[in-house]
Each structure stands twice: as C-alpha cells, then as structure tokens.
Structure 1
C-alpha cells in the first residue's frame, strides 16, 4: 500500500511540475497573438491618418478654388475698368463740343456699367478703394493663394507617401496574416496535445497505482 501511494505521489508531483512550463508556453502563444493584434491596430491607425490627411487636402483644395475664383473675377473687373477709362477719355475728346450731352451719356453709362461692379467691390472690400489699395489687397490674395498652393502640394506629397506606405503594409499584412495565424494556432494546438497526453499518461499511472493498493 505504501509503495502504491508513494508512486501516486510522485505522479502528482510531476503534474505540479508540468503546470508552470505549460503556463509559460501558453503565455508565449498569447504574446504572439497579442503582437499580431497590436500590428493590426497599428495598421488601422495608418488608415485613420490617411483619412485625416485626405480630408485636409480636400479642405485646402476647396479654399484654393474659392480664392482663385475671386482673384479671377477681380482681374477681369480691373481690365474692364481700364477699358472703360480709355473709352471715357476717347468719348470726352470726341464730344468736347457737345459737353452737356457727353455728361449725360457718361452718367448713364456709369450707372449701367459701373453700378454692379461698384456694388460687388463694396461687398468685397467694404468701400471703393483707390487703385493702389486695390492692388495691395489683390497682392495679398495672390500671396495667400501661393501659400495655399504650397500647402496643398505638401499635403498631396504627404498623402501620396502615406498611400504608398499603406499599400506596402497592406500587402505585407495580406501576405503574412494567414501564415502568422496558422503558426500561432499550430503552436497552441501542439501545446494542448502535449499537455493532454502528459495528463492522460500521468492520470493513467495514478489510476494504476491506486488500483494496485490492496
């Protein structure tokens, strides 16, 4: 009886000794799965950054188009004013002997062609400024467009670089994900098989020892 119990005790001790290495092996597999999960989270963060950069690029492009439209309109307006001034001078020289009639035509033409322009400039600038002031404001808009153009180019380059990185990471992810998961699951299944075999063999021996006790 004593020998049987002693042998059974040894087998129980072997189970206790096996628990710690088995837990360490399970932790190793868990760490591999955790590393894979962290990599997937990092890839999601890269995609999120791409969405933010793309949104910023769209906002800057919209601002650039709006300012470019205003500058184009103002440029056409200034050209129209120059043509109008030249016409005004020619009209005055041609009709100097009919001053009263020329004044009436000038006032009528000013109301017909200059009213909407002045009203638009009043909305844009707040008042009808001199040519120098308008030129300064136009130059300020041009400088802003140039700055936005530079920012847009930088943002475009950043998005392009990010897209390249995302494509590379996505390709690597697609290539290795099946292999990595298969390797981790294979390690875990192999560990469980070894543990179960060890436990089955140990409990079989314990059963034999207990059955040998009279």
Structure 2
C-alpha cells in the first residue's frame, strides 16, 4: 500500500524521509513467558538505515533488532497515552479474522505471519511519517536500541464511561464517534461479504479443476478427439491451480480494509479522551459554583438549600464570627485555586480540540487517499481475474474446434 504522507509539516522533518525502515523477516521462536512457562511466538526483524550517507559516496550501515508483537503493542499503548489528541495508527490483527473458511486462522500460519509482517512495517512507516509521532524519542529508541526505555502506560481513561455523564458534549466529537461506529460497521460488513465471495470463488475454481480431470480422463479413451480434450483439460488445470495465489492477493487487499476497521477504534479513543476532559471541566466548574455558594451563605448567614451543615448549626448553635471568618478565608483561597484550575482546564481543552481536529483532518485525507487506491486496485484485480477466466474458455473453445 502506498502511504499518504501528511502535509502538516515539511516532509524533510519526518523520520520516514531520513531513515529507511523495514520489517524484513519473521522468525518462529520458543521461549519462557512471565510465568516461566514455555511458549511459542513470532519475532520480527526491524532493519533501519540512515538515508543520508555518512561519508561522500558511502552508504550508512544497516542496524537491526528483533521485536515481538507484544512489544509493538507496548509502543502503541504508550503513543495512545502520550498523544491523546492524535489518531494513532493501528497494529495489524493479532489473530486472523474475516477470512474465508478454507484459509487457516492460525496465528502461526506462514501466510498470516507474512501479512502481519507487512502490517507491522506499515505501522512503523505510518508513525515515522506522522509530523508529531515521528519525533518521539521512545519511538526512535524502539527502532534503534535493543533495550528501549521502559514506560508504564498509566492511562487516565476511567473505568466509568464519561459519555453518559457529560452535560454539554461537543457536537463535533459526538458526530465523529457516530461516524467511526458507522465506518467500522460498513467495513466489517464489506469484509464479511468479501469472505463469502472468496468461498464461492474457491468453489468455482475447484470446479474447473474437476473439468480438467474429466477432460483428461475422457481424452484417454478418444482417438480423434483426444488431443483437443487433453489440451482443454490442461487449460482448466492451470486455471484451477491459480486460485491460491489469487485469494492470497485478495487477503492483502482485505488487510488494507482491516487497517481502517481498526482506525475506527483509534478515532473513538480520541473522542473518549475529549469526553473525559469535558467531564473533568464540568466537575471543576460545578465544584467552583458550590464553593462560591458556600462562601456567600457564610457571608450573609442564609442557607439557600438544605444541607447537613445547616441542620448541624440549628441543632448545636451558630458558629462564632471568628470561625465563620476563618472558613470564609479558606473558601476564598479554594475559590481562587478553583478559578485558576478551571481556566487551565479550559485552555487545555481548547488546545486539545485544536490539535485533535488538525490531526483528524490529516487522517481524513490519508483515509480518502488509501481507501480509494485500495478499492480501485481491488476492482482492477477482479477485472483481470474475469479476463483470465474468459481467456481460459476461449482457449478451450479453440481446442474443441480443432477436434
């Protein structure tokens, strides 16, 4: 897949223009996990090379290191937490999904591992071409250092869903979340349809294999028609044998669609972060209003609403002027702190929205470019496949005509 490089910064600033990044091979390994139990996993070789030569006429050496899929997951989790306003590129699927039933769903299957290798390379290139993510030091360490700095993905995403508690949600993010849900639903349906079509296509090709076998057997008992039948059978056999390569190529196009299936979740992650920021802002505003009301009640000696403090005052007597003044002073300090905190949260929220929408616009351009290219390539492949089928039967017709 040709990557779309964002126009938000000069391309010279992107790591992808300064360094060649490839995931060149995958290797099956056996080792011990955290529980000291033996496990089998796949390691991927990352190779990097500076594009600019160190000396005139001399190429930079290639650096290489091995990474497990779980290490790619750690890196992406770190990026999600560190850059909440960015639509972080997704990783390829860990286990095969939306596949036609004749294809192995085993995550150790060589064909699946190869597609995942391509997906991991695409993930690294996406990050390396992003105007912000490409400058991250931990990402650079991930590419170049065997032991990159350990980080704890201390996400601020709370267990309770803030969506149902935000009083004034931003309409733009609400619409974006609905769009991401619909995008995921449409692509999921498209992938399921494609898998069903692949099943039927597999059956059609195998029927041609049966034609080839029947024509070959028939040619053995015919003297005058034998050569024509045998030639027609040969064309059918070649056509039937090509189905595996065709469907493997189809899986690569499916992987391009799956990337945007997972991008939908990345969009929702940005929306959730905004909802939590909005919730924190509303809670800060509510707390400030409550403190101002308490300060006013203490200053005037009137209680507007029922409270346990008001009932206590009635039962055990009013506070002394000194006690009231001390409480008012504490509340005034808390109000001042609350106003500064609210101002800071408002500023943080505006910065988040500005940065998030700039990245979302970049993502939309990338999405339109990539999906258009993938769908056109898929259509071209289908047309080419149909032309091959027509050519096979045209050749068979000529063989029959010569009998």
- Assess same fold via TM > 0.5: yes
Deviates more, 1:16-25 or 1:65-74: 65-74
Post-superposition CA distance 1:22-43 (Å, at most 9, x none): 1112111111112123223321
Off by >6 Å, runs of 4+ in structure 1: none
Post-superposition CA distance 1:100-154 (Å, at most 9, x none): xxxxxxxxxxxxxxxxx4778x728623122443344334434543554465355
- For the residue of structure 1 that corresponds to 2:242, the secondary structure is helix
Find 2:385's aligned residue among 195, 202, 209: 195
Q: Quick one: structure 1 residues 118 and 177, their matched pair in 2 at CA, closer, same or farther if it must change by over 3 Å?
A: closer
What residue number does 1:92 align with? none
Q: Quick one: structure 1 residues 124 and 60, their matched pair in 2 at CA, closer, same or farther if it must change by over 3 Å?
A: farther
- Flag structure 2 segments of 5+ consecutive residues without an equivalent: 1-224
Find 1:39's aligned residue among 252, 256, 263: 263
Q: Quick one: structure 1 residues 72 and 118, their matched pair in 2 at CA, closer, same or farther if it must change by over 3 Å?
A: closer
What residue number does 1:30 align with? 254
1:138 paired with 2:328, answer yes
What residue number does 1:100 align with? none
Matches within 5 A, 1:169-188: 169-188=359-378
Distance in 2, matches of 1:147 and 1:11, equals 82
Find 2:310's aligned residue among 108, 114, 123: 123
Distance in 1, matches of 2:303 and 2:228, equals 110
Paired residue total: 173
Distance in 1, matches of 2:229 and 2:338, equals 86
TM-score, normalised by the number of residues in structure 2: 0.38
User: Comparing both structures, which one devotes a greater share of its residues to helix?
Assistant: 1
Provide the alpha-carbon RMSD of the alignment: 3.0
TM-score, normalised by the number of residues in structure 1: 0.66
Deviates more, 1:202-211 or 1:184-193: 202-211
Distance in 1, matches of 2:378 and 2:369, equals 14
Distance in 2, matches of 1:30 and 1:180, equals 13
Does the 8 A contact of 1:64 with 1:148 survive in 2?
yes
What residue number does 1:20 align with? 244
Deviates more, 1:171-180 or 1:190-199: 171-180
Does the 8 A contact of 1:15 with 1:199 survive in 2?
yes
Post-superposition CA distance 1:14-58 (Å, at most 9, x none): 112221111112111111112123223321331233133213312
Bigger relative CO (Cα 8 Å, ≥ 6 apart): 1
Distance in 2, matches of 1:138 and 1:182, equals 64
What residue number does 2:282 align with? 58
Does the 8 A contact of 2:295 with 2:328 survive in 1?
yes
